């Protein structure tokens, strides 16, 4: 059974930091691109950041709204992808989801093609 389990969300003041984690099981980790997406109330889903699959040479990718503030990284030993979020803004408030795409590269623009999704986790940034 494939599982993606997010953790680390919560409530933080503007300017603060949070670290999200996505633990992946049931697949060969290196074959999948793992991405973070978010969806705020009343808005469309947005690609935040992704780590490319080893098949595609890896690489990290970011959405324009988070460049310079968020950092995505993979811990291959733990089959986990982290999203370090710094300098958080109220507009970062959303449900955050991790998704996996087989042999993907930058998947921030391809949420419709994601093979597996986590259950989502809430991030609330207060002003």
**DSSP for residue 57:** T
Residue 91 has pLDDT above 90, yes or no: yes
Q: Do 96 and 38 touch, CB atoms closer than 8 A?
A: yes
- Distance of alpha carbon 39 from the chain centroid: 12
**Rounded to whole angstroms, how far apart are CA atoms 11 and 115?**
29
Average per-residue pLDDT for the chain: 96
Residue 55 has pLDDT above 90, yes or no: no
| Sheet order of strands, 3-7 included | 3-7, 18-25, 80-85, 70-75
**pLDDT tens-digit readout, 28-48:** 999 999 999 999 999 999 999
Tokens, residue 92 = 């970062």
> Strand ranges (DSSP E) for the chain?
3-7, 10-13, 18-25, 32-39, 46-51, 60-62, 70-75, 80-85, 94-102, 116-117, 121-126
Structure confidence at residue 57 (pLDDT)? 85
Structure confidence at residue 93 (pLDDT)? 98
Please report, in angstroms and rounded to a whole number, the separation of the first and last CA atoms in the chain: 40
């Amino acid at each position: 059974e494939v599982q993606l389990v997010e953790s680390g969300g919560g409530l933080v003041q503007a300017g603060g930091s949070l670290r999200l984690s996505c633990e992946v099981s049931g697949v060969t980790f290196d074959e999948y691109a793992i991405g973070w997406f978010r969806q705020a109330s009343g808005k469309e889903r947005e690609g935040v950041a992704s780590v490319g699959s080893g098949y595609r040479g890896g690489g990290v990718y970011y959405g324009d709204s988070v460049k310079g503030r968020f950092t995505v990284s993979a811990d291959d030993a733990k089959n986990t992808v982290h999203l370090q979020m710094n300098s958080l803004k109220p507009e970062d408030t959303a449900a955050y989801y991790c998704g996996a795409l087989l042999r993907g590269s930058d998947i921030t623009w391809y949420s419709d093609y994601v093979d597996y999704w986590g259950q989502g986790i809430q991030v609330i940034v207060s002003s």
